[in-house]
Amino acid sequence: MAQAHILGYPRIGDKRQLKRALERYWQGEIDQTQLQAVGSELRHRHWQQQKQAGLDYVTVGDFAWYDHVLATSLLLGVVPKRHRKETIDLQTLFDIARGSQDGCCSAAASDMTKWFNTNYHYLVPEFEQYQKFELSWTQLFDEVEEAQAAGHRVKVSLLGPLTYLWLGRYDGEKLRLLPELLSTYQRLLAKLKQQQVQWVQIEEPILALELPQEWQNAFIPAYQQLHGQCKLLLTTYFDGLGSHWSWLEQLAVDGIHLDLVAGDVDDQQLLGLPRHWVISLGIVNGRNVWAADLAKWLARLSPLQQQLGFRLWLGSSCSLLHAPVDLELETELTDEHRQRFAFAKQKLDELVLLKRALAGESEAIAACQQRSQRLAAKAPAPVPANTQAVESAVRPLSYAERSPQQQLNLPLLPTTTIGSFPQTNAIRATRADFKAGRIAETEYRLQIQSHIAEAIQRQQEIGLDVLVHGEAERNDMVEYFAEHLQGFALTQFGWVQSYGSRCVKPAIVVDNISRPEAITTSWTGYAQSLTDKPVKGMLTGPVTIMAWSFPREDLSRQQITEQIALALREEVGDLQRSGARIIQIDEPAIREGLPLKRSQWGDYLDWAVGSFKLAASSALPQTQIHTHMCYSEFNDILPAVAALDADVITIETARSEMALLDAFGEFDYPNGIGPGVYDIHSPNIPSEQAITTLLKKALQHIPAERLWVNPDCGLKTRNWQQTEAALTVMVQAASALRRQL
């Protein structure tokens, strides 16, 4: 009989208990013992749920106080010098994650970056010259003991040495650190063996990447060295293994986990794996909210089960960390949607049901069939975007032909902002009151209008050239559009950890997407009625709306994105008709959507760029299209960024001191650029000198006629005092420089 397990469970809690506890701890409202108690309660609850559902193992090691890569760093004694104290404790962990302030001295947090192609962020390990590794943090061993004491059959989840090394930052040849790291892993595994841990799920998701040869070569000897203590389930996810299949079977491990949701593997390949290996197949999607098609899996896996017998394991595709916790809490979803979804807790039941069906239990077989029939009956017809519309959608004139027609009457080096202004308590109260039904729609509109009027007035006083309405009506740049487009469902508690205590609540694409009516025109139009200066219409782009939502599984990401683009194209048309002369379409997520395998980047960028252009294609030559991206790594995607053909792009550059403009300059980027001149993540007010220096640097790469002046990103997380002070300095710097040109 097959065994069932998951790769990990969401640690945040069904009601975000861990988030609340962490934030109260950081505020000094609870002490460490109270925080520990919350963590322990969550772990016990999650183990109990796995056991109760009928899984064969509970997974231990997936809990983390902030992030599991950071927990691995502590386990291995990798603590940046600036955070090192006598002992490594929980405070060390939070210092690395959040930075620390100790009297006069402050130590910066480690960098955070995206976990493969997910929206989860991990803390980047920092290796120093001759980095030593040393078992330094007992959390993992303590939790193993804790779970065993509670009577659970434990399987340990552990980040593998090669992936851990790959994710870190090092000034030198990283693989040189491997021997030392491997001896530490040997000691670690010996300790787990002492604790009588039978299985370790050793995670090497870098096997989903196209690795340099020397990294591939490192795997076989590394695992030879680690083998022989606990049983090792080499665990991969997020994509298929590509050409690594050719050497896979030489690995000294006891089994492998493959993500069949991200890429199916044919039976012959599976049956060709070493006969003593366990084969764990990830079939329940850990990254989405849809119920699994159990009848399909039953048919697919039955023949394999016959051949593999007890060697077959059934698992989640990846950790359930990326899925919301419990569907049962959702009281506002329609029954139809509820029947088609499975959140983390429901996914446990799916695995066990499939396991029982594969074992021939007729009741389970019937239940699988029934669920799948229900899924099929309720599925919307997949309507791919109209291909003709997609293909014919380009702005008719080139940038050089369009731009003289864009009569905006702007000075050289025009100043603007990225869209949002401070989300004050008053603004939040307005939205909350409306949502809770405490104020009627007319009152709500009046209140939002007054927030807009305030933003316009302040911008005029500051002296900005191109204004924005400030986004007071938006809770979130994607959820807002998901609420107003047809085809999305929204949840109440569908939170997923993004990093530390931060969670996001992605909307779910449940149907074909359309736009019942104009979404933003009344706000932008109202803002424009208050001023003669141009007010930018403000939209979130199709790639970003798609990337930050849960997609349906019966259409490709490209098809969903094109549907969104067609809806946005109508919005662009309406904005234009209602008087907007500039429309910004934000695409901060284009880069993160890149496939893990570089050889697939071209295809992705083609449709991502195509979707953006589709959304912008209703713009007349006279309408200026802006876009915004909040990152600074453009080197390898610059041709695609240029292909977006936005009239102006605003990007993050302040933290990298404009270094990236080298690339834009070298590439001869043809259109307008607004490289961010100050970092909005910091509450500090930039000096005029600093902004002038950055602008002068920018002018070395971009002619003044195409240079814009703006902050790095939106200002919603700042307060008005900081915002006004910083923007005033920015406007002063721009006008002083303008006089010198």
Contacted entry of ligand GLN, Zn ion, none for residue 419, CB cut-off 5 to 8 Å set by kind: ligand GLN
- Candidates 210-218, 450-458, 530-538, 628-636: pick the segment binding Zn ion (CB under 5 A): 628-636
The residues in 144-183 that bind ligand GLN, with binding defined as CB under 6 A, are: none
d(CA 164, CA 153): 26
Q: Among residues 76, 325, 630, 702, which is the contact residue for Zn ion, using CB under 5 A?
A: 630
CB of 309 to ligand GLN, least distance (A): 51
Q: Tell me if 563 sits within 8 A of 385, measured CB to CB.
A: yes
d(CA 571, CA 523): 13
Is 143 part of any known ligand binding site? no
Question: Which residue number, 80 or 414, has a Cβ lying nearer to ligand GLN?
Answer: 414
d(CA 300, CA 316): 16
User: Which x/- pattern over 710-729 shows residues binding ligand GLN (rule: CB under 6 A)?
Assistant: ---xx-x-------------
CB of 202 to ligand GLN, least distance (A): 36
Residue 572 lies near ligand GLN (rule: CB under 6 A): no
CB of 336 to Zn ion, least distance (A): 36
User: Active site includes 681?
Assistant: yes
CB of 418 to Zn ion, least distance (A): 6
d(CA 571, CA 553): 26
Residue 539 lies near Zn ion (rule: CB under 5 A): no
Please enumerate in sequence order all residues whose Cβ is within 8 A of that of 609, keeping only pairs 6 or more positions apart, or say none: 640, 643, 644
Total residues binding ligand GLN (CB under 6 A): 13
Residue 586 lies near ligand GLN (rule: CB under 6 A): yes
Q: Among residues 200, 507, 560, 713, which is the contact residue for Zn ion, using CB under 5 A?
A: 713
Stated as kind and residue range, the H or E segment containing 723 is helix 720-740
- Candidates 66-74, 83-91, 258-266, 414-422: pick the segment binding ligand GLN (CB under 6 A): 414-422
Is 19 part of any known ligand binding site? yes
Residue 589 lies near Zn ion (rule: CB under 5 A): no
Residue 519 lies near ligand GLN (rule: CB under 6 A): no
Residue 510 lies near ligand GLN (rule: CB under 6 A): no
CB of 628 to ligand GLN, least distance (A): 5
Q: Residue 305 has which token pair? A: 């089960």
**DSSP string of 476-519, one letter each residue:** STTHHHHHHSEEEE--SS--EEEETTEEE---EEEEEEE-SS-S
d(CA 626, CA 672): 9
Q: Residue 692 has which token pair? A: 């002038």
How big is the CA angle at 544 (ends 542 and 545), to the nearest 5 degrees?
A: 65
Residue 611 lies near ligand GLN (rule: CB under 6 A): no
d(CA 44, CA 147): 7
Question: Which residue number, 630 or 729, has a Cβ lying nearer to Zn ion?
Answer: 630
d(CA 612, CA 545): 11
Is 484 part of any known ligand binding site? no
CB of 228 to Zn ion, least distance (A): 49
Q: Which of 68, 322, 681, 701 is catalytic?
A: 681
Question: Which residue number, 371 or 533, has a Cβ lying nearer to ligand GLN?
Answer: 533
Neighbour count for residue 632 (Cβ, 10 Å): 21
C-alpha gyration radius of the chain:
27
d(CA 342, CA 434): 30
Question: Which residue number, 143 or 586, has a Cβ lying nearer to ligand GLN?
Answer: 586
Cα 579 to Cα 459, 484, 573, 628: the distances in Å are 19, 21, 10, 21
Q: Tell me if 115 sits within 8 A of 164, measured CB to CB.
A: no
List residues forming the annotated binding site for 5-methyltetrahydropteroyltri-L-glutamate.
Answer: 19, 114, 119, 502-503, 548, 592
User: Which residues of the shown chain bind Zn ion in the complex (CB under 5 A)?
Assistant: 630, 713
* Residues recognised as catalytic: 681
List residues forming the annotated binding site for L-methionine.
Answer: 418-420, 471, 586
